[in-house]
Structure 1
């Protein structure tokens, strides 16, 4: 994931109609091929809505106009880049903020930094990442316990019983994230259910309501969203107060409480981690098991790696980096599912891609969902093939897109750890089977999720 700096604020402002300067309908962004605005006020917003998602709109845009194309958000020209080659040319680094953190905090009307400039922002980012890393180290046995409980439940199913991946894995993600982020209060299922109710209300509007402007047009939906956000913030603030008094040092919020952050800043960081961490973790796990269910050979290859590296012992945190093929499976899951299909930056200085000049302050979108299935970059791009990541060029392309390496968002790193524990436990005990005729369709929003419940069956693996 690449840096969204300033993008989300601009995005929301435009979509809710706060910035409505008129551009002549015949102009394109700096002469770059693309769409003219179809509406004087909204630009190409209705075209995006008609396509169903920004990702689907970008697929069509790049098919029609090539890998560098333009369109309009309201009255603002936007440039979209749809190939690795063009992304390599767009050198406009800003690594002081994290893409998902910046995006979510902007959509939630939070401050993305501490207000003390770039150095303070870097410190806060490092603190956030350190809190997640400490949480994983301190609570790895608990994470393993939750996964073991789920797999034991699946082992008890008759072999022809359909297993609902979305319901079970979203539940696993919610339990894992809430307890690792906020502590033992969320051992109470009622607390998790309350959290999930508000989480779903907030996420559904962030993922969709802001895109089509419908949130602002419905007072009842907006009221429901604002109530859920207020309730969630109150819970997070009360937890921070409780944990500060207890002086514990076990979970995510405890690390933040040892810093100089205000209670408000701690609440905001907890909101981002619990919102993004739950959704990214759940969907990485869902898609990984769904894709694995289509290939017994891939499952067997992963099983053999687990036998070689882990043996009969439970997976441990220090063994996960040694599971190279498991990493390839998860990388290919992110690629095939287009887990996060869009990123963006505001052009800080005038830039150039190919022969096209990109003026300062132009919004530049990285059409990651397009790039992740570009046939010039990935052979047989619609095929789930973890072996492609044995190729150094594939790994470099993946890293360039921000899905691996130092620029990977902390929530995705957390999700990779949970998914590695899940895969190592499931594959050593069970075989996964795709239901005949069942194909999971992708709903591409901020994070790609299945449109409907996704089902598989499981059988016990022979010793």
Structure 2
């Protein structure tokens, strides 16, 4: 078994490996600046491992060679784009695929949809209506879960250190499972059971992908007798069994509360498509929501001025009244805080697209069927686009052009992924409830180091303290 430190280097390679597994390769370097393979079989994989993560590898590569760079993953050419200008040239002419879907479909052994543009558009609409309707129908539930967490934190003495990541994961699990899958997860024991399986699936992904890379990912070799393989399969079966039961119930019943699965059930999808889409959305939404909540609170604890301004907006919009869906839309500064959280944390540092046809970026030709990475973590820290890029400054999104750029990158507007839109609303409600009653404070001397995976997280638990406003 490979050393665990190597397994944990980067979850992002799951995405790369998945796309490379699903699609054929190009061997042409196409004259794009970059590095030659370090090893014939593994390409530049050793360089990525030595860098610490794919994101950190790309940061160094773009610093050395410019906005359009190339490297080798195994024997396959990969092109990375690292500025807004070159991304603009690539996004419009090329069809895009959801990186979470690509990665998770491969991980879960689901088939790639292969759907045409019309089918993908219809499916996207189902996702959008599922997110919108589940948030509207379950707003009271989301508020209740937020207030339960508030009550828990209010009961702590002011010196109590709160394990933020742990609490945010629990909150995200409760929110996502009930709003996606319904009342099955009202029981905390069901949530804990789901969380255990969720963790097994994602932890296994480290070992699965790296093991398959080591043995030959492209030929699908994997030691099927390993304990970890069995844990993965058992966890997947249990989660699928739960989802199948819920899908059957939602098809045959008339429920007052609309959940995400209902939109898929009422769409023109078969049971397997509903199962796969529900699984992918729930897994991705849990991790994105948990990390967005965690980073937003982390940044608020280190910026007293931003937290004060957010509190003033919340107080102005709601006063002493109850938080409502209509008024939550008025929290403009809160949305700026969340956008700046995504940017500063580099929440999803890499995305991937397949080059469907031969394309051109600047003076460079990108061969057909080349994997193209969007080095979003590089772009989000580019000083030519974001002045003082390492500063947490929500006011930068007062500028409409900044918001348009953010939308272009897929973090807002029509290109925003459903899982992120879901996370934005859940985090907005939570912050409204918490900041209204609490000062969120950092723990003195704590240094939060970043771990760049598919979704960026802290290497160690992030601790905070809280004090009552009233």
Alignment TM-score > 0.5, same fold = yes
- Residue aligning to 1:3: none
Q: Distance in 1 between matches of 2:222 and 2:107?
A: 17
Q: Is the 8 A contact 1:29 1:79 kept in 2?
A: no
- CA offsets, 1:107-138, max 9 Å, x none? 3232454x663322221221122112111111
Instruction: Report the counterpart of residue 342 of structure 2 in structure 1.
Output: 334
Kept after mapping to 1: 8 A contact 2:71/2:78: yes
- Structure 2 residue 87 is matched with structure 1 residue 87: yes
Change (3 A) 1:165 1:397: same
* Partners of 2:96 and 2:354 within 8 A in 1: no
* Counterparts of residues 3-402 of structure 1 (less than 5 Å): 11-12=17-18, 14=20, 29-94=29-94, 97-113=97-113, 117-206=116-205, 209-210=208-209, 213=213, 219-248=226-255, 250-402=258-410
Q: Which residue of 1 aligns with 2:454?
A: 446
Between the aligned partners of 1:13 and 1:340, the Cα distance in structure 2 is 17
* Segment of structure 1 superposing worse, 103-112 or 205-214: 205-214
Specify the SS of the correspondent of 2:43.
Answer: coil
- Using the alignment, how far apart are the partners of 1:392 and 1:126 within structure 2? 26
Cα pair 1:71 1:79 within 8 Å, conserved: yes
Partners of 1:396 and 1:32 in 2: how far apart? 29
TM-fit CA distance, 1:209: 4.4
Indicate if the aligned counterparts of 1:53 and 1:445 stay in contact, CA closer than 8 A: yes
Cα contact 1:195–1:232 (8 A) shared by 2: yes
Deviates more, 1:93-102 or 1:168-177: 93-102
Deviates more, 1:250-259 or 1:273-282: 250-259
CA distance in 1, matches of 2:122, 2:25: 36
1:207–1:446 contact (8 Å) kept in structure 2: no
Q: Distance in 2 between matches of 1:435 and 1:51?
A: 29
SS of equivalent to 1:382: coil
Deviations 1:270-292 (A, max 9, x none): 10111011000000000000000
| 1:4 paired residue number | none
* Deviation of the 1:378 alpha carbon: 1.1
**Which secondary structure state, in structure 2, belongs to the residue aligned with residue 170 of structure 1?**
helix
Is residue 96–residue 118 contact of structure 1 (8 Å, CA) maintained in 2? no
Q: Deviations over 1:10-52 (max 9, x none)?
A: 7337479x9799x6xxxx7211111101111221122222222
Query: Residue in 1 aligned with 2:8?
Result: none
Closer/same/farther in 2, CA of residues 317 and 127 from structure 1, 3 Å limit? same
Alignment check: 8 A CA contact 1:332 1:384 kept: yes
Q: Distance in 1 between matches of 2:151 and 2:347?
A: 28
Task: Check conservation: 2:15, 2:102, Cα contact below 8 A.
Answer: no
- Is 2:30–2:365's contact at 8 Å kept on the other side of the alignment? yes
1:414 maps to 2:414? no
Q: Which range is displaced more, 412-421 or 318-327? A: 318-327
Query: Whole-Å Cα distance in 2 between the matches of residues 9 and 116 of structure 1?
Result: 19
Cα separation, partners in 2 of 1:8 and 1:123, compared to 1, 3 Å = farther
Can you list the C-alpha shifts for 1:401-442, whole angstroms capped at 9, x where unaligned?
A: 110010100110000001000111111100011111112222
- State the alpha-carbon separation in 1 of the partners of residues 34 and 352 from structure 2: 18
Distance in 1 (alpha carbons) for counterparts of 2:166 and 2:342: 20
Q: Kindly provide the CA deviation profile for residues 345-368 of structure 1, in whole angstroms up to 9, marking residues without a partner as x.
A: 111222222221212222111000
TM-superposed deviation, 1:66: 1.6
Asked if the contact 1:287/1:333 (under 8 Å) is kept, the reply is yes
Q: Contact conserved, 2:15 with 2:352, CA < 8 A, in 1?
A: no
**Does the CA contact (< 8 Å) of 2:438 and 2:466 recur in 1?**
yes
Stretches of structure 1 that go unaligned for 5 or more consecutive residues are 1-6
Q: Aligned-pair distance for 1:106?
A: 3.8
Secondary structure at 1:458's aligned position in 2?
strand
> Deviations along 1:266-324, whole A, 9 cap, x unmatched?
11111011101100000000000000001111111011111222222222222222111
Task: Give 1:160 shift.
Answer: 0.8
Aligned residues: 449
Q: Distance in 2 between matches of 1:53 and 1:71?
A: 15
Contact 1:430 1:461 in 2 (8 A): yes
| Aligned CA-pair RMSD | 2.4
Q: Which moved more, 1:288-297 or 1:226-235?
A: 226-235
Q: Would you say the 8 A contact 2:204–2:232 is kept in 1?
A: yes
Q: 1:144 to 1:224 in 2, by over 3 A?
A: same
**SS of match in other structure, 2:269:** coil
- Distance in 2 (alpha carbons) for counterparts of 1:139 and 1:315: 13
Contact 2:451 2:458 (C-alpha < 8 Å) held by counterparts: yes
> Which range is displaced more, 310-319 or 324-333?
310-319
Deviates more, 1:152-161 or 1:346-355: 346-355
> Structure 2, unaligned stretches of length 5 or more?
1-12
Q: CA deviation at 1:92?
A: 4.3
The secondary structure found in structure 1 opposite 2:34 is: coil
